[in-house]
Amino acid sequence: MDYAIETVKGLLETRKPLFGICLGHQLLALANDIPTFKMHHGHRGLNHPVKNLVTGICEITTQNHGFGVDPDAVRKSANTEITHVNLNDDSIEGIRLKDRPAFSVQYHPESTPGPHDSRYLFDQFIGMMRN
C-alpha cells in the first residue's frame, strides 16, 4: 500500500491532526520508517486488555488485525513514542509522534457493540483539531 503510506506522509507534512485506527496505526508507523510484521496469531474479537502507558489504566478493547508494528523499531525511533501495549503479548497497540499532532491505536475504539473504555481517544483527537 505504498500509495497510502505516501498519503499519510503528505498529511503529516501539513501538520494537521491525524488519528490512525487499526490499518491507520500501521500506516502511521510505516510512514515513519517503522516496519510492520505478520503476527503468528492475530488479535480477533473483544476483551483484549491494553495498557495505556500514559495513564497507567487498562482498557478492554475490540481488535481485528493480523499484523503488528515492530516494537524494536518503535523503541529506536527518536520521533515516536509508545502509548499503549497489549497485556497478553506485549505487542504495540498505540503510538504518537513527538513532532506532529498524530497518534494511532491498533485496536478499534469506535467498535460497537463492545467495550467503550477507549472512546476518550476521540475526545483527544477533537481537542487536537480545536488547537
Q: Give the separation between CA 101 and CA 86, rounded to whole angstroms.
A: 23
User: Active-site residue numbers?
Assistant: 22, 108, 110
Tens digit of pLDDT at every position of the chain (131 positions): 899 999 999 999 999 999 999 999 999 999 999 999 999 999 998 889 999 999 999 999 999 999 999 999 999 999 999 999 999 999 999 999 999 999 999 999 987 666 788 889 999 999 999 98
Q: Please tell me the pTM assigned to this model.
A: 0.93
Handedness of CA 66, 96, 7, 127 (dihedral sign): positive
Say if residue 17 is preceded by a cis peptide, omega within 30 of 0. no
Q: How many angstroms separate the CA atoms of 18 and 102, rounded?
A: 5
What is the helix (H) or strand (E) element at residue 48, kind and residue range?
A: strand 36-52
CATH number, span 2-7+18-130: 3.40.50.880
